[in-house]
Amino acid sequence: MKKSNLFVLLLLVLGSTAIAQHKGNYNQITQDISRQNILSAGNATIYNPVVQQQINKVLHANNVLNIDVKALQNVNATTYTAIFNLSQIGPSAETTNALMKQRVDSIKLRLNAIGISPKNFAIDVISFIPVYEVEVTKKLFSKTYTEVPKGFELQQNIHIQFTKTNQFEAILEACAKSEVYNLVKVDYFIENIQEVYKNLQGQLLKLIEDKKAYYNILGFDLSQYDVAIADDKYCYFPKDFYQSYQAYNSVSFEALDKNKGVTSVKKQTSYYYQPLTYETFDVVVNPSILEPVVQIGMHIKLVFTPKPQEKKTEPITKTKIDHKYYVISPNGTIDVKELNTKN
């Protein structure tokens, strides 16, 4: 390969790498995007279609008022619990249990050295079963295959509770030195969740009062409206928000040095923490976060509908009828006298 062609190829490879660095490795699209065109003040259009849709949104006025408010609070966990799975096999039940106890005691000793006491350590026995193998018995005219016990398998889960995230690295090291590598999960716990909901509720009620005052300034008397309400609250943990991606660039530079064809390299799958974003929230408490957190939210929606106008009814005119009563003599005379009933 000529030096000039090699130089051009290197520029193309490095150029594509620079683009990947600008955008980050996640959510990589197939179309190349120039950051310079996006940031320039020229005629370049906005790339994000969601932003375009929001800018060109058409508002439709009506006489139904909506107050829709959301609040989110990022809360650091009070305690964490890491769960590891380990299994042990042995020729007998006693030997298997002794080997397992030796590994567990080793982990406890190392954890105690970093400030995690035995009271923050628990064991959950999953199974303790015999292990069978097939034994072939040869006879004169036949073979028999029989399962015979060859040992036992003990499986346990270890629960380790800690309070600081920087302790987790030491926990991993302590488990690895005891040949425990299977991390099942890490649970997050917070003790004052009711206080968090109470704080969010207060934030939203204040915001609702501000919006009511805003509508009042615009000339809407909310006392003349019927109101309907819907509310919700939720709590999300970090395990629900890990996403995966693969590296964008996977070209082997060794192939270029050896004047060979470009060789594709297997892309490694990576994971990153992507919490809830703040676009749809009116209030965010503790918005700046450094480590995975518990995200607690509350949503209140009020719908104000104009009260139906009362129909005016005309007054009913009552006709008063004066009744007159007459008395006729029994002898048939025409002497008619009016009976006065007003006294």
**pLDDT tens digit sequence for 209-254:** 999 999 999 999 999 999 999 999 999 999 888 888 876 655 555 5
pLDDT category at 19 given cuts 50, 70, 90 is very low
Statement: residue 73 has pLDDT above 70:
yes
Which amino acid is it at 125? Answer: V
Looking at residue 259, its pLDDT comes to: 59
Residue 261 CB contacts under 8 Å (≥ 6 apart), including other chains? 255
Looking at residue 139, its pLDDT comes to: 61
Q: Rg (Cα) of the chain, in Å, rounded?
A: 41
Average pLDDT over residues 91-102: 89
Task: Give the best-scoring range by mean pLDDT among 85-89, 90-94, 126-130, 199-203.
Answer: 199-203
Statement: residue 291 has pLDDT above 60:
yes
The C-alpha atoms of residue 181 and residue 107 are separated, in whole angstroms, by 12
Q: Which has the closest alpha carbon to 161: 35, 39, 77, 251? A: 77
pLDDT category at 323 given cuts 50, 70, 90 is low
pLDDT category at 92 given cuts 50, 70, 90 is confident
- 174-184 pLDDT, tens digit each: 999 888 889 99
For the entire predicted model, the pTM comes to 0.65
Average pLDDT over residues 52-73: 86
pLDDT category at 71 given cuts 50, 70, 90 is very high
pLDDT category at 152 given cuts 50, 70, 90 is confident
Statement: residue 18 has pLDDT above 70:
no
5 or 314, higher pLDDT = 314
The C-alpha atoms of residue 150 and residue 131 are separated, in whole angstroms, by 6
Query: Residue 96, Cβ neighbours under 10 Å: how many?
Result: 21
